[in-house]
Structure 1
Amino acid sequence: MLKSPWFWVPISLLVVLIVIGVVGALTAKRLYDQAMIARNDLEQAIPLVDQVQQSMLAGDPAGAKKTIAKISALTDDAAKKTSTGLWRNSEWVPVAGPNLKAVRITADSVNGLVHDALLPLTGLDLKALLPKDGGIDVANLKTLADDIDTANTRMELVQKNVKSIDRSALVPQVAAGLAKLDDAIAKIEPVLTPVHNALTILPNALGADGPQHYLLIFQNNAESRGTGGNPAAIAMLTAVNGKISMTQQANSTDFANGRPEPVMALDPETEALYGDKIGRYIQDSTLSPDFSETAQIVRAWWSETYGTPVDAVASIDPVALGYLLHAIGPVTMPAPFDETLNANNAVALLLNGVYAKYPDPHVQDEFFADAAKSVFDALLTTHADPKALLTALTQASNEGRLMYSPSDEAQAKMLAGTPVGGNMPADNAKTTDLGVYIDDLTASKLDYYMQMSIAASGTQCQKPDAPTFSSTVTLQNTLDPAAVPGLPVYVDPGLFFPKGHASTDVYLYGPVGSTLTGVTVDGQPVAASGLPHLGRTVAKLNVLMAPGQTTTIVASFSAPSGAYGPLEVRHTPMVKATPVTIDAPGCTPAKK
């Protein structure tokens, strides 16, 4: 959590004092001595931070606590040396004074973060927080939540104190040092805030205050939809005091699809863009890129069909299951399948191989359900490596493969605009987001072969009064033409298009408040009107690609004057990784 630049900042600021030379020879000498002692303390502390991180991830809180005790002693001394009476009295000296104050605040900030962020966390055993024997210890989660809350409070105080510094009075060297502290805070806040939010939610979500019921959607990326794919399998999870069980399973054929009217009243903009099929077929409930819309629709289907209460809807895809298998190891499915799933074969088997091996769609559904339950059971009972599991979960959530939409409004507010929440930000303040989402119209599983890449550009940092943005999307149907005759029927039945040809609706979202100015396909302008959705303008168009064919789409947008954060891209999580490049001259990249 604590990065080494936070230690280097006070060092660089303190050394500047040596050359200031305006507070008198004796005073300068004493301040110099104090600065050197503080520098030495902090230099010793630097290499110890990595030891704390490694010990915590290895589930060795005792080792972490021993190391942090050494760090806290060093940072205590550094803070003490920069807060003596001589130091504070010298803060009134013209020129040098404001710089001395800035150094003191910085050193105190570092020391406070050590005591209020790192030190409390050393009492936690990460292994005890992971799933074990079918559940999670919610008491440990509550303890961690309290400690993270303390760390979050300290971070807010540090930000307030640093903001209070009059930077106009600082010499360039000190100002540059504070800028490094600003960068360090900007790096830790995007990490600390979501962790704080998650740990605020988790104890209640895991049934600490009563049973909680969740729908878990398994999205099939081989048949793309906005937030992932066709929700082929759905499971009900029940959590009671940390114990989690899969209490019911269903697949898309268990619902009354093709109904004449949507299962619930739809948002007019959503219906205009995606059609009422988003509410008439549960297979299309994931069309919108806003997962909270998906969650509402799926809740309505479940309520109508089964009537059981739903406290939240979560989503995962086979690619994310593959990430989890990296952490928990191979999983063997029960009879009659007896298949072994591992990190290397899960995606290929679940999204492609299953259709050749088990031609009957009903058997395929059973396979998906058994595979999901097998991985789920292993996750709750296997003693996974903490670092590997956290890495898998982080990667899955950052890629939009793991999403969570609670019914509780306070929880939903915490997750709004985040990848875990599954929706784009409501404004452009923190980040300026472009969206690229696709929907398979082939009624096939050909998106297993689809490769997408995205290049985004924006001029908001060069021309903030009239910025322009563009999304360049390249789609390639990587299916080998020679393989088309041997495709299993369920991979491509060839019902509506020539076999092996992929028909895809592409939705390109501009920033909040933007206007569509043009669309080209393979360099040729095409007619495309912008439709409103989620406060954005959306270009919708269809492309049909033969095996081996590549198509490039460019959508351009203009936007009014305003505050624009760093440029980012949200997109449908595909089977294959989606390379994204961003060109926004003059902008500082968003902190991850």
Structure 2
Amino acid sequence: MSNSGEEPLLDRHATTDERRRRPRRTKSRRKVLGVVLGVVALLVVAVAAWVGVRGYQAKGELEAAIPLVTQLKTQVTSGDSAGAIDSMNRLTQHAQSAADLTSDPVWRATELLPWVGSNLTVMRELSSTVNDVSRYGVQPLTGLAGSIGLSDFKPVDGRVDLQPLLDAQGVLADSSAAVGDAVARVDALDGDGVIQPLADARLQLLDKLTEASGELTTLSKAAVLLPAMLGADGPRNYLLLFQNNAELRSTGGIPGALALVNTDAGSIKLSQQTSGSSFRQFPEPVIELPLDTKSLYGDNTAEFMQDVNFTPNFALSGQIAREMWNRKFGLQVDGVISLDPVALSYLLKATGPIALPSGDQLTSENAVKLLLQDVYAKYEQPPEQDAFFASAAAAVFDKVASGNVNPAALVSALGQAGEENRVLVWSASDEDQQVLAGTTLAGGLPKSSETEQRFGVYFNDSTTAKMDPYLQVNIEAGQAVCRNDGLPLNSVRVTLTNTAPADAATSLPDYVTGGGEFGIPPGNIRTNIAAYGAEGLYNLGLTRDGAAFPYQPSTELGYGVSKVEIELAPGDSTVLDFQFLGDAPQTKAVSVQHTPFVYALETKALEVDCQNALQ
């Protein structure tokens, strides 16, 4: 039977008083609920205010801390120990305060909230990272202020005091590791979905930490490598190759002047000099060349001293040069070091002008032109040219070894030359090679990363002359997605121009133009260009002035290579586009490692045209 429209059966037994009390209970419940909601609202406001105020304060602490890092670096390198300690104390206070402000239980609990939580997590991690860097990465360095500085990197009376460098090894290694860990920590932070100012702050901190990590890694490796190379554990011998960029090779230029340097317990002595041309062709390769290298560059690479750096793999060039020196002079050197006239010009900024036995004055402004162009007009015979090069190299070496240099300018000069791949080092010691690995000094092929696609473009003169100061090179690189599968097209554009005067055949010496030998008209420049793609990429070939052009496809050390020979008359220009297909649907920044020229060259961004793609 339906009870529709009637009171519930249970209510029939309720008293009148009970029925009257029910609305009051409902009102009471509503009142309690209102109070609870009010309290929750107050708590939300309080938490928001707490987190907001502390976040604002933490931001201020971080902004106060960052400039102190740069100030501290200057104080440490200049030996201002008192200033470094004061800056370090202030940095530590600001960093610790920022970490404390963003790590209390209220802050951590609020991180669990949607949207706002990710912002708070990033803020806490950034503050904590800065605090860790200040304590474990920067603070230990203050102990080096006054005990090691830029002056410790320069010789005094032909000797470098190795003890400060040895004492600094542990501190530099620990600091380098701490900052390296911080880079990985910030890089791993998920910046998606956070507010823009915080995302920008993360990227700015990452850039700062990456820069600092690179500098510390370099210093740490230098503190390990320099004592070893300077004979801390016993005498060593090094072969110096002075590369002549007037006749290009992959790592710079032909080895023109050569020298033997002896080191022992920090002392440095130039004991022997000769020229690359004094080495006659060996009847067969002095070492067994890798098949890929032999295919690309031929047996000449291991038969002529002036061709040992046909390959951009300097570790291989060093081994070849070492064996050639051994066969000629009966000495197995402990390593091979190369530099070029441009690097010498940088060093001259630290030494000041140097008077040469010839009566010339060598300066940072005239060194490149004097050593790579004027010398051929002044001295017609190769032996005279070799003697001039040898005297210039010896004069610069003696000035640096004497310690009569500006230490800050010396370190800056070596740093700039290293960044431009103008100073290369190979060591017969496996331990030294491990320290060199990954640095610009090692002269290895370009290494790509998850975010950067790196290519190599290397030049070898085949004019057999000294025309390359007139070869103007421009390099551009870019990437675009031109296929449905999303694989990116990488393009490296090389523009070559022969800037020699129209009358080069008569106005330039035969030694510079080649005098028509090998069927090359005087004034023309003939060059081999090898473009190295990153490992795993597919080599699509190249175009010349917009049209497909024949080339030699090959490989070296697992890198796909496109090699081509170009000859240009005075005033001629041509454009080569080397193209490589990516191995994954991912876009990256593109960069190019290249042969050092007589001038500085920066790779420019290229807007890739898919319609001209070789796919």
TM-score (norm 1): 0.85
Structure-1 separation of matches of 2:420 and 2:187? 33
Alpha-carbon offset, residue 454 of structure 1: 1.0
Tell whether 2:411 aligns with 1:390.
Answer: yes
Deviation digits for residues 511-559 of structure 1, max 9, x if unmatched?
2233332333333432224112221222222222112221222222224
Structure-1 separation of matches of 2:214 and 2:481? 22
Structure-2 separation of matches of 1:23 and 1:410? 61
Structure-1 separation of matches of 2:308 and 2:149? 37
Letter in 1 for 2:270: M
Alpha-carbon offset, residue 39 of structure 1: 4.0
Where does 1:159-308 land on structure 2 (aligned, <5 Å)? 159=183, 162=186, 177-255=201-279, 257-308=280-331
Structure-2 separation of matches of 1:217 and 1:474? 29
Structure-2 separation of matches of 1:481 and 1:137? 54
Alpha-carbon offset, residue 214 of structure 1: 1.6
Aligned to 2:389: 368
Instruction: Name which of structure 1's ranges 158-167 and 368-377 shifts more when overlaid on structure 2.
Output: 158-167
Indicate if the aligned counterparts of 1:417 and 1:425 stay in contact, CA closer than 8 A. Answer: no
Structure-2 separation of matches of 1:171 and 1:363? 68
Structure-2 separation of matches of 1:463 and 1:317? 46
Pairing partner for 2:545 from 491, 511, 522 = 522
Alignment root-mean-square deviation, CA? 3.1
Letter in 2 for 1:521: R
Indicate if the aligned counterparts of 1:117 and 1:147 stay in contact, CA closer than 8 A. Answer: no
Tell whether 2:442 aligns with 1:421.
Answer: yes
CA 540–101 in structure 1, closer or farther in 2 if over 3 Å, else same: closer
Pairing partner for 2:84 from 42, 45, 64 = 64
Aligned to 1:589: none
Structure-2 separation of matches of 1:273 and 1:53? 46
In structure 1, list runs of 5 or more residues that go unmatched: 1-20, 586-592
Deviation digits for residues 559-590 of structure 1, max 9, x if unmatched?
433777532111111113334213479xxxxx
Aligned to 2:98: 78
Instruction: Name which of structure 1's ranges 93-102 and 344-353 shifts more when overlaid on structure 2.
Output: 93-102
Q: Percent identity?
A: 35
Pairing partner for 1:331 from 337, 340, 354 = 354
Letter in 1 for 2:128: D
CA 235–82 in structure 1, closer or farther in 2 if over 3 Å, else same: same
Aligned to 2:466: 445
Instruction: Name which of structure 1's ranges 58-67 and 482-491 shifts more when overlaid on structure 2.
Output: 58-67
Where does 1:35-46 land on structure 2 (aligned, <5 Å)? 35-46=55-66
Alpha-carbon offset, residue 190 of structure 1: 3.9
Tell whether 2:577 aligns with 1:577.
Answer: no
Indicate if the aligned counterparts of 2:591 and 2:603 stay in contact, CA closer than 8 A. Answer: no
Indicate if the aligned counterparts of 1:438 and 1:507 stay in contact, CA closer than 8 A. Answer: yes
Aligned to 1:346: 367
Aligned to 1:7: none
Tell whether 2:427 aligns with 1:406.
Answer: yes
Tell whether 2:505 aligns with 1:481.
Answer: no
Structure-2 separation of matches of 1:534 and 1:464? 28
Number of residue pairs matched by the alignment: 562
Indicate if the aligned counterparts of 2:323 and 2:332 stay in contact, CA closer than 8 A. Answer: no
Alpha-carbon offset, residue 483 of structure 1: 4.7
SS in 2 for 1:104: helix
Aligned to 1:17: none
SS in 2 for 1:265: coil
Pairing partner for 1:499 from 522, 536, 551 = 522
Instruction: Name which of structure 1's ranges 553-562 and 323-332 shifts more when overlaid on structure 2.
Output: 553-562
Tell whether 2:197 aligns with 1:155.
Answer: no
Alpha-carbon offset, residue 288 of structure 1: 0.5
Structure-1 separation of matches of 2:482 and 2:233? 47
Structure-1 separation of matches of 2:61 and 2:272? 58
Indicate if the aligned counterparts of 1:121 and 1:144 stay in contact, CA closer than 8 A. Answer: no
Indicate if the aligned counterparts of 1:464 and 1:561 stay in contact, CA closer than 8 A. Answer: no
Letter in 2 for 1:394: G
TM-score (norm 2): 0.82
Deviation digits for residues 182-237 of structure 1, max 9, x if unmatched?
44444444444344333332222222222222211100000111111110112122
Indicate if the aligned counterparts of 1:516 and 1:557 stay in contact, CA closer than 8 A. Answer: yes
Structure-2 separation of matches of 1:28 and 1:488? 80
Deviation digits for residues 428-453 of structure 1, max 9, x if unmatched?
55642222212112221111211111
Instruction: Name which of structure 1's ranges 394-403 and 132-141 shifts more when overlaid on structure 2.
Output: 132-141
CA 230–77 in structure 1, closer or farther in 2 if over 3 Å, else same: same
Letter in 2 for 1:379: V
SS in 1 for 2:463: coil
Structure-1 separation of matches of 2:450 and 2:102? 37
In structure 2, list runs of 5 or more residues that go unmatched: 1-40, 609-615
